[in-house]
Amino acid sequence: MLHLVAALSLGLVLAIPQLGLDSGAWRASYVHLLVLGWATQMIFGVAYWMFPRTEPLDPRAVPWLGWVCFGCLNLGVLVRTLAEPALGGGSVVAIAGAVASAALQLIAVVAFVLIAWSRVRAR
Amino acid sequence: MPRVSVWLVRASLLHLLSGAILGASYLAWRAAGWLPYAATHRPVHVEQMLVGWLVQLVIGVAWWILPRPEAGVSRRAAALIWLVFVLLNTGVLLVALAATVMPDVLLPGGRAAETAAVALFAALAWNRQRSYRATARRVLV
């Protein structure tokens, strides 16, 4: 929900050219706040809740993996939102941030796929 | 969960993984010039994330959780939902291939397969959406 509010607020700011934000540079951040930070994270959360469980006390259940997914996804989207618009300037911090955010987002997806794969099964 | 939903959801997870790898590669290429193959694969990333992952996951979960007809899902519907699975994944693969080879042929073919898949799914799912009131009336009668 926070990502949704942030994305739509950023979209509003980008829609007002007088505010001076470069819409070309910030567009990818806006899109990924919306589709990754909000839509994908909402799907991850609801799927984690409603997909058939392997618990209780199933040794295959790995609860910490869900927190890895949550932490990496949110940190990845946050770092990306700040780093990607600054890539045009060639700053080393922006480049490192963008590469780190790419890795964090990928780790989050891998964690979710590992969680969901075994929980998706025929009745 | 019906077996076809398992296949739809797992295929969507594979598209998510593949699309995320391409997306991360594209961002690394934009930032540092690494993984230059990713420069031409942005349309594949978008297609896999929107249709391969998002649309396919929604179809798989909807087929699982939407209220079933009182007489159960017909054999015809149970067979046709597999066609949805095949058409959707064929469509995504053709559109993805079109990013690198024969775009004039593969892109329209892929989009046609995707459109046929979602139209067929809409037709199959149409009568499985009912209000609580209609369900309660049937129970009372």
SS3 of chain B: the string is: CCHHHHHHHHHHHHHHHHHHHHHHHHHHHHHHCCCHHHHHCHHHHHHHHHHHHHHHHHHHHHHHHCCCCCCCCCHHHHHHHHHHHHHHHHHHHHHHHHCCCCHHHHHHHHHHHHHHHHHHHHHHHHHHCCCHHHHHHHHHC
The alpha-carbon radius of gyration of chain A (Å, integer) is 17
Cβ(B61)–Cβ(B9) under 8 Å?
yes
Mean pLDDT lowest among A27-36, A108-117, B35-44, B116-125: B35-44
**Rounded mean pLDDT, A69-74:** 96
Angle between helices B56-65 and B75-98 (to 10 degrees): 170
Residue B135 clears pLDDT 90, i.e. is over it? no
CA distance B49 to chain A (A): 9
Closest CB from B17, B32, B49 relative to A113: B17
Count CA within 13 A, CB hemisphere, residue A91.
Answer: 11
What pLDDT, on the 0 to 100 scale, is given for residue B37? 83
* Rounded-to-integer distance, Cα A39 and Cα A105, Å: 14
Structure tokens at B112: 């046609």
Cβ(B42)–Cβ(B24) under 8 Å?
no
Residue B70 clears pLDDT 80, i.e. is over it? no
CA distance B141 to chain A (A): 31
* Rounded-to-integer distance, Cα A70 and Cα A92, Å: 27
CB atoms within 10 A of CB B92: 26
Q: How confident is the model at residue B55 (pLDDT cuts 50, 70, 90)?
A: very high
pTM value > 0.80: yes
* Rounded-to-integer distance, Cα A99 and Cα B30, Å: 9
Find all residues with CB under 8 Å of A52, minimum gap 6, and list them: A119, A120, A121, B1
CB atoms within 10 A of CB B50: 15
Cβ(B47)–Cβ(B87) under 8 Å?
no
Q: Judge: A94–B57 Cβ closer than 8 Å, yes or no.
A: no
* Rounded-to-integer distance, Cα A81 and Cα A7, Å: 10
pLDDT, mean over chain A: 88
Closest CB from A94, A105, A121 relative to B6: A121
What distance, in Å, lies between the first and last C-alpha atoms of chain A?
33
What pLDDT, on the 0 to 100 scale, is given for residue B120? 97
What pLDDT, on the 0 to 100 scale, is given for residue A86? 83
Cβ-based contacts under 8 A for chains A and B: 65
